[in-house]
Amino acid sequence: MRGTLIIALFVVSGCATVATLKPPAKDQYFVLNDAHVRDNVSGVVPQRKLEGLVAGTYTAIGEDAQGVYFACKSLCVIQLFLKPEVDSYLKTGAMSQYALSDANRFPRALSDGGLWLPKAGVHKAPKLFYVIRNSTGSFGNLGITGAAIWSITEGSLAFIPYESETAFIQSITVENK
């Protein structure tokens, strides 16, 4: 078990952050007039969840060899996993105060991030990305390895495959500024 955690530590330590992205080659953006969420069931233990993006302007903030990262100003990636929160959002289109105020959850209900889109000619699926923000509580009971993983993953980018949202992705019009 300890060996697995140490290996995970080395794998995670190579994660990208927004600061390590190459600046975008073009000054581009797209606008979402309405939030878009995917309502699905997935995971080892099947669980219903909502994942998506809030309405707003998404600007190219960086790129890698295969795609461009578009993000809004702040807190634009939606991730809801708890049944009452999912049901409430689907009914009202708004997040509960509890979901928004719980800083000790991972992932958070709203996170900094956005949408990664593949460059022309790259055959990769689009994906949501978000900045990992770990719990604001103490990590004193995690042990040395757990505390190291916690520390290294803070601020790293995590990804959510979004290939199932073909019509949504095709509706996005990326514009040059």
Intra-chain end-to-end CA distance of the chain, in Å:
51
What are the φ/ψ torsions at residue 92 (nearest 5 degrees)? -105, -20
Q: What is the pLDDT along the chain (177 residues), one digit of tens a residue?
A: 444 444 443 444 446 877 789 999 999 999 999 999 999 887 788 888 899 999 999 999 999 999 999 999 888 888 888 888 888 889 998 887 777 776 556 667 778 899 999 999 999 999 999 887 766 555 555 555 655 555 556 667 889 899 889 999 999 999 998
pLDDT of residue 16: 80
**Residues with Cβ < 8 Å from 26, sequence gap 6 or more?**
60, 176
Two structure tokens written together for 39: 């309502």
User: Which pLDDT score, from 0 to 100, does residue 119 have?
Assistant: 95
Q: DSSP letters along 67-96, please?
A: EEEEE-SS--EEEE-SHHHHHHHHHHSS--
Alpha carbon distance 160, 163 (integer Å): 9
What residues form DSSP beta bridges with 157?
131
3-state secondary structure of 172: coil
Beta bridge partners of 56: 32
- pTM of the model as a whole: 0.79
